[in-house]
Amino acid sequence: MSFAIFDIETRIDKALIRAVLYPHQDLTDEQAYQRFRAQVLEEREGRSDFLPIPFHVPVSIVVGNVNGSRMLTAVEVLCAQRYSEEEIVCEFWRRVEAFPGTLVSFNGRAFDLPVLELQALRYGCQAPRYFNEKHGHRYRYSEERHYDLFDFLSNMGASRIRGGFNLLARLIGLPGKTSVDGSMIQGLWDAGQLATIHAYCRQDVIQTYGLFVRLELMRGRLTPEEYRAAWEASAPFREELSEGADGPSVEGHPLEPMDTGDTEGGGGRKPKS
């Protein structure tokens, strides 16, 4: 069994906000975005300006490959050398369709995958196995295709984890959120700081791996010795967590495609609940 830990970062589709919410008003995309954001913030009494999922567009997708021994073998920014918003989404779905293992996420069932599904609709990506398999990736009560760590830890939403990913990362000795967090992604995108967004997304995947492997130990699916071996093997990746807000370049470690099981290999702001 192999695993693919994934995470996305998103920008807001300001043009879509204007087209859908203010079609007959003389507003720029930016004005429409700021008006809607202010409206959402007011409705939530200043607690959150998180906008509805259909307005989110992935600008970074990172995948961490984990082998059957739960060792992290690669962390890859998708399409780093042939980047476009459409290409990263299509590449993700191509890999998911070919990948025989388990996807791993933190709150991916509530955010990452719904965003990516809508973008598959936008770009016409085909993923028949994903969308049609009866007890596949979209079936909430099975970990075989998709293991959402937040779902597991919250007992499928029966309990709340105030502090979310940041709290859980710090609970097990990881740095959690540091000088960059999800609330800054839109501003970084507007400032042209895509490399910083990629580095932040990589760091999220590496920390999600840390949480994943600790849960495997807790659940008895790794012995203490196997856990220590996996944790020690991840040291080169964990070095990225202390390299500052900008992190390393996306070439910081050798990148490998998501393992599809064949010999040639496989093809805004995020709520962390």
The DSSP code sequence of the chain is: --EEEEEEEEEE-HHHHHHHH-TTS---HHHHHHHHHHHHHHHTTTS--PPPGGGEEEEEEEEEEE-TT--EEEEEETTTTS--HHHHHHHHHHHHHH--SEEEESSTTTTHHHHHHHHHHHHT---HHHHH-TTSTT-TT--SSEEEHHHHHTTTTTS--TTHHHHHHHHTT---S-S--GGGHHHHHHTT-HHHHHHHHHHHHHHHHHHHHHHHHHTTSS-HHHHHHHHHHTHHHHGGGGS-SS-S-TTSS-------SSTT---------
Note the residue count of the chain. 273
Whole-number pLDDT of residue 176:
93
The pLDDT value given to residue 243: 64
Q: For the chain (length 273 residues), average pLDDT per consecutive 10?
A: 97 98 98 98 94 98 98 97 96 97 97 98 97 92 94 86 91 90 93 96 97 98 98 96 54 38 41 57
pLDDT given for residue 181 in this prediction: 86
Task: Specify the pairing of strand 3-12 against strand 102-105.
Answer: parallel
pLDDT in the model for residue 155? 84
CB of 222 closer than 8 Å to CB of 213: yes
What the block records as the tokens of 144 is 């075989």
**pTM beyond cutoff 0.75:** yes
Of residues 98, 103, 141, 124, the one with CA closest to residue 8: 103
Q: What is the pLDDT of residue 273?
A: 53
- Tell me the torsion sign for CA atoms 104, 109, 110, 113: positive
CA distance 57 to 38: 20
Strand partners, 21: none
Q: Return the half-sphere exposure (C-beta side, CA atoms, 13 A cut-off) of residue 227.
A: 15
- Measure Cα distances from 97 to 34, 67, 70, 85, 138 in Å: 37, 18, 22, 19, 13
Per-residue model confidence (pLDDT) at position 163 = 85
